[in-house]
């Protein structure tokens, strides 16, 4: 226990911000920035894929479906290596480990965000789509003005949970020298050499506290959404799928 406290006292800045300001920003700050950017940049792609997955146009549906199933069927580490070696060949010069990991997470998470958004769309009562069409709204306006705002609101807890997954996935950036919190822990371990259990126990506690806090936030948001549904008339059960399905 005293070893853990001593390690934290001597290396807390390395765990928190890496070598900044005397070197690159790293540690927990880099982990959070990487995860937040990945979620923000992957979200538009996931949204477009979700719209394609529920669209009546079969060409779009099958392209999006293949993309989702391929990415969800391969390990993230493989995508990291593909991006690490392929992107420099395509653009003609090397990119940083941070950018490599960011590109990887955007590509990989687009498939998962697609399914979250698609689930939010198909959980809405089918009568909303039918009522919108009866009012004269076309497919595009119905989707953008009526369906998506509700679907994204209902998907908020799942989006927070996915952000937790992204935070944990950033630890794989260590293999390509991304200076996030796992990389910082390894630096501390290399300095001490004799206390690996204590160092990586600290790392586990950091991840646990961060992810536990976000999990509680997701639960709170989910309860708020459930109460709002009850306040709007108790329509808590999902209806039939609105548009296309996986048949």
Task: Specify the pLDDT at position 1.
Answer: 62
Average pLDDT over residues 57-62: 90
Average pLDDT over residues 26-34: 92
243 has a pLDDT exceeding 70: no
State the chain's mean pLDDT as an integer. Answer: 85
3-class DSSP string for the chain: CHHHHHHHHHHHHHHHHECCCCCCECHHHHHHHHHHHHHHHHHHHHHHHHHHHCCCCHHHHHHHHHHHHHHHCCCHHHHHHHHHHHHHHHHCCCCCHHHHHHHHHHHHHHHHHHHHHHHHHHCCCHHHHHHHHHCCCCHHHHHHHHHHHHHHHHCHHHHHHHHHHHHHHHHHHHHHCCCCHHHHHHHHHHHHCCCHHHHHHHHHHHHHHHHHHHHHHHHHHHHHHHHHHHHCCCCCCCCCCCCCCCC
* pLDDT, tens digit, 9 for 90 and up, residues 15-25: 888 888 888 88
232 has a pLDDT exceeding 90: no
**Class of 29-164+204-231 in CATH:** mainly alpha
65 has a pLDDT exceeding 90: yes
229 has a pLDDT exceeding 90: no
Task: Specify the pLDDT at position 244.
Answer: 43
Average pLDDT over residues 54-81: 92
């Amino acid at each position: 226990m005293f070893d853990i406290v001593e390690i934290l006292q001597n290396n807390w800045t390395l765990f928190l911000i890496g070598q900044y300001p005397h070197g690159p920003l790293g540690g927990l700050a880099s982990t959070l920035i990487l995860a937040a950017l990945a979620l923000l940049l992957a979200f538009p792609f996931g949204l477009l894929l979700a719209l394609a997955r529920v669209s009546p146009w079969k060409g779009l549906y099958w392209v999006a479906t293949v993309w989702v199933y391929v990415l969800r069927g391969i390990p993230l580490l493989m995508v990291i290596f593909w991006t690490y070696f392929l992107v420099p060949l395509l653009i003609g010069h090397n990119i940083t480990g941070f950018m490599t990991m960011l590109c990887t997470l955007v590509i990989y998470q687009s498939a998962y965000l697609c399914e979250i958004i698609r689930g939010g769309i198909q959980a809405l009562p089918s009568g909303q789509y039918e009522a919108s069409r009866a009012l004269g709204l076309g497919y595009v306006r119905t989707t953008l003005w009526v369906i998506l705002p509700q679907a994204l609101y209902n998907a908020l807890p799942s989006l927070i949970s996915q952000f937790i997954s992204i935070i944990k996935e950033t630890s794989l950036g260590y293999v390509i020298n991304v200076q996030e919190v796992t990389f910082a822990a390894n630096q501390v371990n290399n300095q001490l050499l004799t206390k690996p259990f204590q160092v990586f126990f600290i790392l586990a506690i950091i991840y646990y506290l961060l992810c536990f806090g976000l999990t509680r936030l997701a639960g709170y948001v989910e309860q708020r959404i459930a109460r709002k549904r009850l306040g709007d008339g108790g329509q808590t059960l999902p209806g039939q799928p609105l548009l296309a399905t996986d048949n």
